[in-house]
Amino acid sequence: MTEVSVSRPAHTQQQNLDDPKLRGKGAEAFSRSRYQSTPTTLLSVRAVEKVFGSRDSITHALCGISFDVDAQEFIAIMGPSGSGKTTLLNCISTIDRVTSGHILVNNRDITSLGRRALSKFRRDELGFIFQDSNLIDTLTGFENIALALTLKGIPTKEVTPKVEAIAKTLAVESVLKKYPYQMSGGQKQRVAAARAIVADPTLILADEPTGALDSRSAALLLEILEMMNESLGATILMVTHDAFAASFTTRVIFIKDGAFFSELRRGDATREDFFAQIMEIIAFMGGEIAHDR
Ligand SMILES: Nc1ncnc2c1ncn2[C@@H]1O[C@H](COP(=O)(O)OP(=O)(O)OP(=O)(O)O)[C@@H](O)[C@H]1O
Ligand SMILES: [Mg+2]
């Protein structure tokens, strides 16, 4: 196997990835005093634990995971099935509550927000893209995208130009008058991407957004996400099984058994080279993650 360059955040730098005792134990090296957010840190996940169930059926879905995301990063979260990826995303989106630990968005601890503040946070600061687009069936493409703006209280006269502009950028102008059942899977996901970004959220969360798409539609959606990140400055956190999807991002965070395992930064690598590096880490982890293309 050729050498893979693996970088780790400051709080795990003492770890030796080759030491089997330390694999999957990123969080155990966590220490608050060594863990200072930089001014550009947008998301900070700190020693987050999530336990499901009680007594004899306890699952430790997240075991003290820690990492930071800077503004305008495009991050892929990869890990074997059951490693805690969806649980992590649900905790960041506040759909689920952490058992312990903290999640900071722009230095505000979202794990301690009350019910009203939580719904305001979700509405104003987050955009979502799910595996099955989750568009509202009774609304047209235009209305689905516009909803994100009206919920946020954007004045009516500003809604149409904003929806039309993002629809043009994301190549969904032709389906603005159609209902979801009249759209292809790829078109639905691009409308969902338009809805996620139109209100200019702080963070876009995506769980397997290409999971239900054929390879051509997946590639188009990934190019759109890449463009949303590069040209529109969106910060995106995307869970994926797919090394091809991950190769469009700027950094891949690998998790295993609910803890940080390692990460890869794209740097100046081409997408093809980054894909090869991701595949090597997957092979190193036991090949449990990806269906390669
Ligand atoms: N509501 C729940 N109640 C009990 N256990 C749960 C619950 N949700 C998730 N788990 C468990 O937590 C662990 C992590 O699940 P999670 O869905 O986060 O994994 P994942 O990495 O997203 O997996 P996949 O790649 O298959 O989607 C699993 O062992 C799962 O069975
Ligand atoms: Mg999942």
The tokens describing 221, both together, are 């959606």
1 within a domain of the structure (yes/no): no
Burial of 233 (0-12, 13-18, 19+ CB in 10 A): exposed
272 within a domain of the structure (yes/no): yes
pLDDT in tens, 131-160: 888 899 999 999 999 999 999 899 999 999
- In this predicted structure, the answer to whether residue 104 has a pLDDT above a threshold of 80 is yes
pLDDT in tens, 250-261: 999 999 999 999
5 within a domain of the structure (yes/no): no
3 within a domain of the structure (yes/no): no
Ligand 1 in reach of 140 Cβ (< 6 A): no
Domain hosting residue 36, numbered range: 10-285
120 within a domain of the structure (yes/no): yes
CB 114 within 8 A of CB 278: no
Best CA proximity match to 61, nearest among 79, 47, 82, 81: 82
Top mutation candidate among 48, 51, 52 for ligand 1, by most atoms within 8 Å of CB:
52
230 within a domain of the structure (yes/no): yes
**How far apart (Å, rounded) are the C-alpha atoms in residues 190 and 30?**
38
148 within a domain of the structure (yes/no): yes
**How far apart (Å, rounded) are the C-alpha atoms in residues 228 and 201?**
12
Ligand 1 in reach of 80 Cβ (< 6 A): no
pLDDT band at 17 (very low <50, low <70, confident <90, very high): very low
So what's the pLDDT on residue 39?
57
Ligand 1 in reach of 50 Cβ (< 6 A): no
CATH code of the domain covering residue 143: 3.40.50.300
| Arithmetic mean of pLDDT over the chain | 86
Percent of the chain with pLDDT over 70: 84
Which atom of ligand 1 is nearest to 83's Cα?
A: 21
Task: Taking the CA atoms of 152, 40, 267 and 247 in sequence, report the sign of the dihedral they define.
Answer: negative
Which atom of ligand 1 is nearest to 62's Cα?
A: 14
pLDDT in tens, 29-82: 333 333 455 558 999 999 999 999 988 889 999 999 999 999 999 999 999 999
Average pLDDT over residues 110-120: 92
So what's the pLDDT on residue 212?
87
So what's the pLDDT on residue 56?
84
pLDDT in tens, 154-174: 999 999 999 999 999 988 999
- In this predicted structure, the answer to whether residue 3 has a pLDDT above a threshold of 80 is no
Top mutation candidate among 85, 254, 261 for ligand 1, by most atoms within 8 Å of CB:
85
**Span from the CA of 62 to the centroid of ligand 1 (angstroms):** 9
Top mutation candidate among 87, 96, 99, 288 for ligand 1, by most atoms within 8 Å of CB:
87
14 within a domain of the structure (yes/no): yes
Number of domains in the chain: 1
Alpha helices in 93-214 (DSSP H): 115-125, 141-151, 156-169, 185-198
